Chains A and B, each alone.
Chain A
Amino acid sequence: EVQLVESGGGSVQPGGSLRLSCAASGFTFSNYEMTWVRQAPGKGLEWVVYISSSGSTKYYAESVRGRFTISRDNAKNSLALQLDSLRGEDTAVYYCARRLELDVWGKGTTVTVSS
């Protein structure tokens, strides 16, 4: 079964950091580009970042560029998102998804930024 499982969410103060992980199974992870999407409480979906299958190409949303860093370890079938300089507006459920077509989604991990 194709599956994505996010972890690493939690509560953090403004200016703090978190590292999110996404474990992939059921498919050849190294063949697929990956994406992070977030959803603030009661709001719509917002694309955050994309990474190519090799990890050589990355695109970031303007709202997170310079603060978030995406990476992947194809040997471990894992995707990571480093969140630095967090702000209140980063509070959201963070989903990892497969491909730009977002054909498979994880259940999400919640990040809360509050003092």
Chain B
Amino acid sequence: QSVLTQPPSVSAAPGQKVAISCSGSSSNIGRSAVSWYQQLPGTAPKRLIYDNTQRPSGIPDRFSASKSGTSATLGITGLQSGDEADYYCAAWDTSLSGIVFGTGTKVT
């Protein structure tokens, strides 16, 4: 089961921006780095953000992230039709000794 809480969906017009929240606890986000993943329909997830705020090479700077306490946020600016996907946050949970994922957010 998912331990990190995300809104089920967010939507905006092309060119606009959205923010996706990810709420956890002191045993996961509060202690560990947060990663974000994008899953386009019918495909495997792809890493968008690691170490709370870092973008891998090839990920456009329209994608950004932040973390504060036990919460994290993914922001997408200049929204494009190709950004329609499910987005998941994740972090290591020290109590569970495992990775916990967010509930997922569909961006339309």
A47 to chain B, nearest CB (A): 4
Question: Least Cβ distance of B100 to chain A in Å?
Answer: 7
Chain A interface, number of residues (Cβ within 8 angstroms): 20
Whether, in the assembled complex, B63 has its beta carbon less than 8 Å from a beta carbon of chain A, the answer is no
Contact A45 B98 (CB under 8 A): no
A44-B103 in contact (CB<8A): yes
Interface presence of B35 (CB below 8 A): yes
Question: Is the CB of B90 closer than 8 A to any CB of chain A?
Answer: yes
Give chain B's interface residue range (CB within 8 Å of chain A): 20 to 34
Docked Cα-Cα span, A3 to B42, in Å, equals 18
Question: Least Cβ distance of B25 to chain A in Å?
Answer: 16
- C-beta contact mask, B52-79 vs A, less than 8 Å → 1, else 0? 0000100000000000000000000000
A36 CB to nearest chain B CB (Å): 10
Contact of B44 among A61, A62, A103, A106 (CB under 8 A): A106
Contact residues of A between 69 and 115, Cβ < 8 Å to B? 95, 100-103, 105-108
Chain B residues near A (Cβ < 8 Å): 1-2, 35, 37, 39, 43-47, 50, 56, 86, 88, 90, 92, 96-104
- Interface residues of chain A, those whose CB is within 8 Å of chain B, are 35, 37, 44-47, 50, 59-62, 95, 100-103, 105-108
28 A-B residue contacts at CB 8 Å? A37-B45, A37-B99, A44-B2, A44-B86, A44-B101, A44-B102, A44-B104, A45-B37, A45-B39, A45-B88, A45-B90, A45-B104, A46-B101, A47-B90, A47-B98, A47-B99, A47-B100, A47-B101, A95-B44, A100-B92, A100-B99, A101-B50, A102-B35, A103-B47, A105-B45, A105-B47, A106-B44, A107-B43
